[in-house]
């Protein structure tokens, strides 16, 4: 007799709920961005492709992270950082693509990619290699090192090369880049909150927030930031396409 094993989601487990919701939302967003590439002007197609790749890669990882969490009840740290190492640099690529017409150089692209990888590698060392029981000094040192990469991206988006190039890229692109900069400032700030919930982290030590808060913060941040980034790109692409029609 044929049977179908269904992975049950406990109704009182918000983390399992956000894993599944995040997976479905980002998969749907990926399909949307891929299909909408055909409705925008040629120069915007690559930006929408990258948006679809960001949410698509995240959806695949969330599929496996959901199963890992349901089977073990633990934070899927390695899978999560593999996801971020692929998707966060792609989010930085969007800044380059949006300002390329205004004179952005390949050097800007590589600086943003290096800063994002720096941020993630340091964060992974701080989170995955923290001694058993949690070392506050280990958490703080690698958290600070990781933050240096974040500050560079934040500065570049708000005041540095990206912000300056945006002024010559047209009003729609300028507004869009400012919105993306807000995502970096506010949306990405959720990740340090999750980082500080691990053993040895400040929020863990001060308030007792544990791994359950880490996953919840990360899941919500991923959905907001990755889908939100793509929707801003979509707005820019469709607005500029309608102007050119």
- The per-residue pLDDT of the chain, averaged, comes to 88
Question: What is the enclosing helix (H) or strand (E) of 153?
Answer: helix 136-158
Fold entry, domain 14-244: Rhopdopsin 7-helix transmembrane proteins (1.20.1070)
Q: Are 154 and 184 in contact (CB under 8 A)?
A: yes
Q: Token match 């703080």: residue?
A: 140
The Cα 111–Cα 92 span in angstroms is 10
Cβ count near 16 (within 10 Å): 20
Find the mean pLDDT for residues 17-41.
95
- Judged by DSSP in three states, 159 sits in coil
- CA-to-CA dists, residue 25 to 18, 86, 122, 200, 224, angstroms: 10, 18, 29, 32, 10
The string over 146-175, giving b where at least 16 C-beta atoms fall within 10 Å of a residue's C-beta and e elsewhere, is bbebbebbbebbeeebbbebbeebbebbbe
Which of 32, 50, 25, 49 is closest to 113 using CA atoms? 50
187-241 pLDDT, tens digit per residue, is 898 887 777 776 666 566 655 556 566 788 889 899 999 999 999 999 999 999 9
Q: Where are the domains of the chain?
A: 14-244
The reported pLDDT for the residue numbered 207 is 57
Structure tokens at 125: 């060392």
The pLDDT tens digits of the residues spanning 94-145 come to: 999 999 989 999 999 999 999 999 999 999 998 888 776 567 788 889 989 9
**How much helix, strand and coil, in percent to the nearest 5, is found in the chain?**
80, 0, 20
Maximum distance among all Cα pairs of the chain, rounded to whole angstroms? 66
Q: Which comes out higher in pLDDT, residue 70 or 161?
A: 161
Average pLDDT for residues 73-97, to the nearest whole number?
Answer: 94
For residue 25, what are its two tokens? 């939302």
Rounded-to-integer distance, Cα 182 and Cα 165, Å: 17
Could you tell me the two tokens for 103? 């004179």
Give the pLDDT confidence score for residue 13 in this predicted structure: 86
Residue 4 has pLDDT above 60, yes or no: no
């Amino acid at each position: 007799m044929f049977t179908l094993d269904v992975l049950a989601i406990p109704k009182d487990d918000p983390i399992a709920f956000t894993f599944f919701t995040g997976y479905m939302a980002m998969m749907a967003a990926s399909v949307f961005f891929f299909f909408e590439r055909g409705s925008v002007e040629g120069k915007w197609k690559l930006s929408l492709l990258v948006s679809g790749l960001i949410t698509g890669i995240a959806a695949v990882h969330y599929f496996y992270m959901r199963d890992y969490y349901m089977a073990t009840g633990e934070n899927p740290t390695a899978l999560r950082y593999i996801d971020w190492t692929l998707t966060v640099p792609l989010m930085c690529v969007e800044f380059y693509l949006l300002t390329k017409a205004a004179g952005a150089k390949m050097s800007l692209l590589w600086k943003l990619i290096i800063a994002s990888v720096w941020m993630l590698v340091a964060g992974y060392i701080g989170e995955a290699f923290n001694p058993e029981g949690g070392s506050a000094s280990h958490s703080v040192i690698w958290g600070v090192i990781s933050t240096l990469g974040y500050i560079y991206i934040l500065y570049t988006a708000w005041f540095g090369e990206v912000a300056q190039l945006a002024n010559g890229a047209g009003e729609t692109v300028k507004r869009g880049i400012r919105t993306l900069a807000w995502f970096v400032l506010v949306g990405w700030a959720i990740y340090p909150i999750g980082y500080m919930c691990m053993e040895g982290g400040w929020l863990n030590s001060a308030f007792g927030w544990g791994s359950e808060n880490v996953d919840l913060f990360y899941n919500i941040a991923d959905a907001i930031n990755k889908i939100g980034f793509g929707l801003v790109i979509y707005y820019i692409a469709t607005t500029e396409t309608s102007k050119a029609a």
